Amino acid sequence: MAKEPSSAPDYMKLLQIDIKRLYFADKDLARDIKLEVSTQERILIVGATGTGKSSLLNTLNLMNQSYEGEILFEGKFLQDYHPHELRTRISMVMQETYLGDGTVQEALDEPLNYAALKNADHSDRKQRLGELLESFKLSLDYLAKRVNQLSGGEKQRIGLIRSLLLRPEILLLDEISSALDQKTSGIISDCIFASYPGTVIAISHDPLWQERWDRTWSLEAGKLIDNSGVK
């Protein structure tokens, strides 16, 4: 079960969100969003099309900056992080993952060019990559394949593996299973919910995912309703 954010000590408050106004162009999407997120929570964002679900999700690692207010990650304003560090520690996986046009190995290694990872310890990366490939039902042979040879489901799994190799504290997922068959969706959800130790904040309409959340954030008529503990 999710921890009660209001009673968590400051070091447990992974994210502190105080958005006065979330908008797109000249349209207000939501106002007065005040939330706290603790470690290891699983949070689902729901709402009708156009209510601002993706805008809110993308705001949490500053891929969207159309908002007024403050967001703190581990007690520090998001803007005070270098973008590479922020997006390494709060990693986004989109519905359609861009992996470039090289090999799978090259796509997985691309984040190593980030300044935030230049001096990181990668001694266990090869072992961890092998474990993740096995968990996602992909063989080592995939590393030599070109990205354009992969199916949509294979690209999605490689995109997730690339994010998980970064060891993010928070994983942001935007409808990543919407175009997948049930078998592939099940593989992905099992790996995330059983093996990933961090916080997950996601948008998903997949029925296989619906019973696995600690909290639901519902965007309705410009307001966010936080249903803590709703299953």
Query: All domains of the chain, ordered by start, with CATH?
Result: 41-61+84-228 (3.40.50.300)
- Quote the tokens at residue 49: 């099309």
Q: Under DSSP, is residue 31 helix (H, G, I), strand (E, B) or coil?
A: strand
For 106-109, which contacts have Cβ atoms below 8 Å and span 24 or more sequence positions?
107/147, 107/158, 107/162, 108/143, 108/158, 108/161, 108/162, 108/165
The pLDDT, as a whole number, for residue 116 is 60
H-assigned helices in 136-181 = 152-164
Instruction: Calculate the dihedral angle through the C-alpha atoms of 62, 80, 120, 36, rounding to the nearest 10 degrees.
Output: -60
The pLDDT, as a whole number, for residue 27 is 93
Confirm if 142 and 154 have CB atoms less than 8 A apart. Answer: yes
Answer whether residue 187 shows pLDDT above 70. Answer: yes
Compute the radius of gyration of the chain from its Cα atoms: 18
Cβ-proximal residues to 6 (8 Å cutoff; 6+ apart), any chain: 36
Question: pLDDT (tens digit, 9 = 90+) per residue, 49-105?
Answer: 889 999 999 999 999 999 999 999 999 999 999 998 999 999 999 988 889 999 999
